Every structure is written in structure tokens, then in C-alpha cells.
Amino acid sequence: MGYKTRGFEFAGAWYADDGANGSWLRDDLVFTALLDPLERDGQLAAVDRISVNLRDHEPINSVDELRARAREWGYDIVDLSAGDTDDPDLRIHIGLDPIGPRVFVAYAAERAPSHLRDLVAGWVAAWSAKLAVEHIHLTTASFEPTQDDYPRPTPPRVGLSWRLGLLDQYAGLYWHRQDPDRLAELERVQHALLPSGAHRRVDGDVLHIAFDADLFKSSSIAAARVAHERWLAPLVPTEPADGWNEEGDRRVDPSRPEDRDPFTLYDPEEQIGYKALVVQPGTYEVDEGAWAEARAVVAAGALPDGTPVRGVRLIFPRREDALLMHERVIASGFEMSLYPYDGVFWQVHPESSPMGGGTG
């Protein structure tokens, strides 16, 4: 198994000042600025093949050979790796863009050094210090597992300029200070109170924020990623992840809905029935006959004509109604409580549901 199956990855980008844009790649800068730190820590000698500009991989027999080839690179895409071709144990990917270099380094979990996070922190500091002399500055960088399977807070959010759910977060001070909005975000992140188990330090131009985690214990990694997302999301611009809204509700899209009595809609692909019910204002009553009919379908797992039904979802006119009825909906064996908004259905999240609605 390689890093894509189970592993860790670093990704970072550096940006050239206007005067260096398109002219920064010269002499042996690629090796002295980017590859030397990897060689010093014994990682570069582990690669055994190379691909340039997405061409087929070729063998690399020594670091000296790689150093000689590096002098020939222009603004190219360079991929170094070892292990399986499709899922390497080690991958070093360097994008030599005119606007600045991008670096990606990934390890399979079984191949990762026990002190990998310390190694990465040293590389980021070394890269940033050397490149800054050439007027190239760190923007942002991150270190995280390759598998995105931690229990995210509800609703899961996406950072518009900062990554969420990381183990290590890096930010370039110089680059952030060149723009008022970036500077404001940086100052919030740099000075906000950290939770227990988190650490923050500045190394030259690099702000480094790390959340404690045992890389060889999945529960420890998941806890650190949750802690990072909860801490960072209020400090920087974010939006709900695709399929969620600000209230913490998840979008539900029937695949190919069709009419099928007694359902309002039936999804034949998923074998799911949707039943719309009205909640009476003030009394919060529903049509108990329709409720009982839908429950009977759930119990039978099929409609009277034999059409299979894997689950039934109830639709209420408003979010308030869906929240009010949620507890009863679940207790009665239905899959979820929905409401329509902006042309789609939304499932109220259990954590946001109040008590109420009676019993089955």
C-alpha cells in the first residue's frame, strides 16, 4: 500500500515578487533551495525514478545523477517517486511555475519516518529562508493524512483561503502582510487563543501551528483534525461544504423521482419513498392516517404492489416543522425529516433538533 491508500502528505506554495516573477529559475537554485534539505535528511536518495512534464518515468540511479538533471529543468513539472508506480511509497512532486515553486511530498504510512512532522517543519523553514533571498515567499502550506475520513463538525466547512482539519499549518508572514485582508486573517490566526494540545511558533518568515497527534493512531489523528477545524473555522473566511447549509442541514437529492402512490415522490434507483405531510399550526398535528400508512410501508419494506422500499423520508413545509417532528420521525422508523428550500430538500441534522412532536 502506498501513500494514496494510507499515508501523509505535505503541500506548499511559494510566490515570487513581481520583479522575480518569470525569472527566478536560474543556476542550480532548484537543487540548493528545494532538494538540498531533502538530501541532507536522507530522503532524496530513496527515490528511484523521475518523470518530467508528465512523461513516462525513467530510472534515477543516484543523487548525483539527479543533481545533474536538475540543471536542465526549466519551468517544468518534476515528479520523483519510489515504490508502486500507481501508488508510491514516497513521492516528491515539484511544480516549477513562473510565479513560484509548488512542493508536494507524500509518504505511505508504513514508510513514514517516526519524526516526519519535525522533518517537514525543518524543510519548510529551510525552503522559505533560501527562497526569500531570491524574493520568493511562502504563501501557505499544510501537512495532513491523505485520507479525509475524520468526523467533521456539522456543518463541515471549507476554508476559502485557509485549509481546515490539518495536523500542521504553515503561513508565510511576508506574503500575508502584502494584502490587508490576508493580514487581518493572519493576525487573527497568529494571536487567537489555542486549545490544549496545539502549539504555535514563528521560524523566520514561517508561522507554524501544530496540533498534537500520534501518527500511528487513527483516533489521535482524527481528534487533532477535529480540533483544528473547530479552532480555525471562526477565525478565517469559510463556507459550508458542498451539500450543506449554514444551519447544519444536509442536501438530499432524489435521483429520478417519480409518482408512486401513496408517496409524494419515489426514487426507484435508491428505492426510497418521500412523503409530504402538513403540520397544523398551533396544535402541531399531522394526518395520522397518512402517517400510519407510511409506517406500514416501512414495516413491510415494500408497497402493496411489491415495489421494494428501502426507506421512507418525511417532508414538512418548513424547517421549524421538520425540526419539531424529527424525534418522532426517527422513533417511528423513518429515515429522516426533510424540508424544501430553494428547489431542493434539506435533512435536519439530529444535533440541531429540539425535543417535541409526540410519539409514534
C-beta separation of 344 from 243 below 8 A? no
Instruction: Collect all residues with Cβ–Cβ distance below 8 Å to 348 and sequence separation of at least 6.
Output: 249, 319, 322, 323, 326, 336, 337, 338, 339
Q: Which residue has the higher pLDDT, 359 or 3?
A: 3
From first CA to last CA, the distance across the chain in angstroms is: 49
pTM of the model: 0.85
pLDDT band, very low/low/confident/very high, at 172 (cuts 50, 70, 90) = very high
The residue written with cell numbers 533571498 in the block is: 133
> How many Cα neighbours within 13 Å face the side chain of 93?
13
The residue written with cell numbers 531570491 in the block is: 134
Q: Per residue in 198-219, pLDDT tens? A: 999 999 999 999 999 999 999 9
Q: Per residue in 53-78, pLDDT tens? A: 999 999 999 999 999 999 889 999 99
Average pLDDT, stretch 9-37?
93
Q: Does residue 108 register a pLDDT over 80?
A: yes
Query: How far is it, in rounded angstroms, from Cα 191 to Cα 183?
Result: 12
Q: Does residue 249 register a pLDDT over 80?
A: yes
Residue 360 confidence (pLDDT): 45
Average pLDDT, stretch 262-279?
96
Mean pLDDT score across all residues of the chain: 93
Q: In whole angstroms, how far apart are CA 174 and each of 16, 23, 131, 211? A: 11, 20, 12, 23
C-alpha grid cell for residue 211?
496540533
- Which pairing describes strands 336-341 and 311-315: parallel, antiparallel, or unpaired? parallel
Instruction: Collect all residues with Cβ–Cβ distance below 8 Å to 311 and sequence separation of at least 6.
Output: 271, 272, 273, 298, 334, 335
Neighbours of 154 (CB within 10 A): 16
C-beta separation of 82 from 47 below 8 A? yes
Nearest to 301 by CA among 351, 335, 330, 343: 335
Average pLDDT, stretch 257-282?
94
Residue 350 confidence (pLDDT): 58
Residue 352 confidence (pLDDT): 42
Q: Does residue 305 register a pLDDT over 90?
A: yes
